[in-house]
Chain A
Amino acid sequence: MNNSILKIQKVTKVFGGLVAVNKLDLELAEHGIHSVIGPNGAGKTTLFNCITGFYKPESGDIIFGDHLLVGMLPNRITYLGISRTYQNIRLFSNLTAIENILVGQHPRLRAGMVDAIFKTPRMIKEEKEALEEARRLLNFVNLKGKGDLLSKNLPYGDQRRLEIARALASKPKILLLDEPTAGMNPSETQAMVHFIRRLRDELGITILLIEHQMRVVMSISEFITVLDFGEKIAEGTAAEIQNNPKVIEAYLGRGAASGLSQKQAAAAA
């Protein structure tokens, strides 16, 4: 963990009486793939919301470069270079696929009202480049030819990838993926794993991942943090996590059949 890009220090988030995230410390290595796992309600999505500025933690610091993210507006955080996807896909459903990506490029573009009304050369050039970039991203996520469809009319897997493309459009340094393989069959999942690796290898983006499928987590992550009831119970590489008694207890002790079978599957893999 020599060059960390994002530092989360003692972050606590409380809803009413419920402590969703409790004094959490986390560091993200640059160009790494980092997974956050844990049973339902462990505070994973809350953590994402804290990083992206939708929740303001009660205490603690989130440091990105020389910026303190706590209390910053979400748009500003995106602007600094952190973007995300959602667990339940949240595309702009009545916009076309390509428009979704163009919206994603918003923080990188400059054209203001005057440019728009008078179609200044600067804006024409910018729009042309933005459109080209959007097409490139569309190709990159294998949605070539589907750019003019309304995003709500795309099949599920395409929507997932479009959402990632939209997040990539802002040229983030860190990409937060919230269960990117949820609801996918094994072959789609495999493709997604491959795709996430490509994001890191080809684009050099640091990836923070929430994932439930152990097979995915174990095969892709370079570093894993395990949350339970808002607290970090373990962290380490895939091998370390698999043998950590606390993790096994968190999953097995609860008797959650799905957790058990996934764990076994992961061990077998």
Chain B
Amino acid sequence: MLKRFRERFTTTDFFMWLIGGSIVTLVVVGSIATLSQGTYTIRHWFDFLVFGLAQGSVYALIALGYTLVYGILRMINFAHSEVFMSGAYIGFFFATAMKKSGFLDGNPLLALLIIFAVAMTISVVIAVLLERVAYRPLRKAPRLVPLITAIGASFFLQETFRTLFGSASKAYPDMNALKGTFALGGPFIIQKIQVLVIVAAALMMLALYLYVMRTKTGKAMRAVSEDKDTASLMGIDVDAIIVRTFVLGAAAAGAGGVLYCLMFRQINAYMGFVPSIKAFTAAVLGGIGNLPGAMLGSLFLGLFESIGPILFLDGLGVPAPYQLKDVIAFTMLVLVLIFRPTGILGERLATTKA
């Protein structure tokens, strides 16, 4: 019996459980310590919660692109962060122009729609170009090759935007209509902009989900993600479906980019990197290839990131815990991949082995 156990339980397993166990212990001890100190009131926690949800909604919009493309091509579209950034960046120029002419504050709804339309269009154009130029010729290449191409494309786009428009960060114009807060009674106050972000993202996700689940194109997408060859035998134009997948993901990312900018009010060529890597984490967290999983994972990650640093680290006496929020997100990614590599809801892909 012992022999059987020893042949199966490797040192690797031991290490993994050791690492996982110690992190969980840390989290539990930290949380208890923070909560027992009582520095933060219920109002603080509510603010963290709403902020986390808003952040998570943006992640979700980006994560959809990762999860859709991964579902179909089994490829991490590393340049998706630039798809996200490019839309928001071009949207910025329209927003500033409209701010100058007074249109932005005169017709806020229409102006917002224009910004969204521009951003989504640009994101879609960039994504389609990427697919056509960089990914399609490499579809049959070894796994590493398209991944490296994607990394190269990502840097190329980033630097193109930086050199075209300058390195300095620019401030997104603020909209008077989105200033201020809603009081929800008691200590609970919520910012208008956060409401907009959460609602808009939820609507986008719902539309996208219905599109994939209910329409003929959506069905074709799912078929292609199951088995490209069979799908093409069934008369599905695989190339066209792949392009549409990129379009969908890019549209969501473009919208997410605008929401992100409205929330954080800053823009530069490197802004895509961090939220996108988080969004990818979220997609993995929810089970990559799985749309509801990506949404759920994103909300979860957003909350985790906004509440986590204070909850886990403040009680342990770590100075400036917010500096470490990215560390928490990445640690979570590693933990998920170790202990539940198929994510919370499980992958929707048939992982073929051997």
Q: Answer yes or no: do A and B interact.
A: yes
Interface, chain A (partner B; CB < 8 A): 49, 54-55, 67-68, 71-73, 76
Residues of A within 8 A of B10 (CB): 73
* Contact between chains at B354 and A68 (CB < 8 Å): no
Q: How far is the CA of A241 from the CA of B4 in the complex (A)?
A: 37
Residues of A within 8 A of B353 (CB): 54-55
Sample of 12 further A-B pairs with CB below 8 A, known A55-B354, A72-B7: A49-B354, A54-B353, A54-B354, A55-B353, A67-B7, A68-B4, A68-B7, A71-B7, A71-B8, A72-B8, A73-B10, A76-B7
B198-230 contacts to A, CB under 8 A, are: none
Q: Smallest CB-CB separation from B354: which chain A residue? A: A54
Residues of B within 8 A of A68 (CB): 4, 7
Q: How far is the CA of A49 from the CA of B10 in the complex (A)?
A: 21
Residues of B within 8 A of A54 (CB): 353-354
Residue contacts A-B, CB under 8 angstroms, 14 given = A49-B354, A54-B353, A54-B354, A55-B353, A55-B354, A67-B7, A68-B4, A68-B7, A71-B7, A71-B8, A72-B7, A72-B8, A73-B10, A76-B7
Interface, chain B (partner A; CB < 8 A): 4, 7-8, 10, 353-354
Residues of B within 8 A of A72 (CB): 7-8
Sorted nearest first, the 9 A-B pairs with minimum C-beta distance are: A54-B354, A71-B8, A49-B354, A72-B7, A68-B4, A54-B353, A72-B8, A76-B7, A55-B354
Rounded to whole Å, the gap between the CB of A39 and the closest CB of chain B is 19
Q: How far is the CA of A178 from the CA of B7 in the complex (A)?
A: 27
Residues of B within 8 A of A67 (CB): 7
Q: How far is the CA of A192 from the CA of B275 in the complex (A)?
A: 57
Q: How far is the CA of A195 from the CA of B271 in the complex (A)?
A: 63
Q: Smallest CB-CB separation from B142: which chain A residue? A: A94
Q: How far is the CA of A49 from the CA of B354 in the complex (A)?
A: 7
Q: Smallest CB-CB separation from B9: which chain A residue? A: A71
Q: Smallest CB-CB separation from A86: which chain B residue? A: B354
Q: Smallest CB-CB separation from A66: which chain B residue? A: B3
Residues of A within 8 A of B4 (CB): 68
Residues of B within 8 A of A55 (CB): 353-354
Rounded to whole Å, the gap between the CB of A20 and the closest CB of chain B is 13
Q: How far is the CA of A55 from the CA of B353 in the complex (A)?
A: 9
Q: Which of B7, B10, B353, B354 has the most CB of A within 10 A?
A: B354
Q: How far is the CA of A54 from the CA of B353 in the complex (A)?
A: 8
Q: How far is the CA of A76 from the CA of B3 in the complex (A)?
A: 14
Residues of A within 8 A of B8 (CB): 71-72
Rounded to whole Å, the gap between the CB of B229 and the closest CB of chain A is 14
Rounded to whole Å, the gap between the CB of B13 and the closest CB of chain A is 11
Rounded to whole Å, the gap between the CB of B33 and the closest CB of chain A is 40
Residues of B within 8 A of A49 (CB): 354
Residues of B within 8 A of A76 (CB): 7
Q: How far is the CA of A68 from the CA of B3 in the complex (A)?
A: 10
Rounded to whole Å, the gap between the CB of A60 and the closest CB of chain B is 15
Q: How far is the CA of A71 from the CA of B354 in the complex (A)?
A: 16
Rounded to whole Å, the gap between the CB of B294 and the closest CB of chain A is 22
Q: How far is the CA of A67 from the CA of B7 in the complex (A)?
A: 10
Q: Smallest CB-CB separation from A68: which chain B residue? A: B4
Rounded to whole Å, the gap between the CB of A127 and the closest CB of chain B is 28
Q: How far is the CA of A68 from the CA of B353 in the complex (A)?
A: 22
Rounded to whole Å, the gap between the CB of A86 and the closest CB of chain B is 8
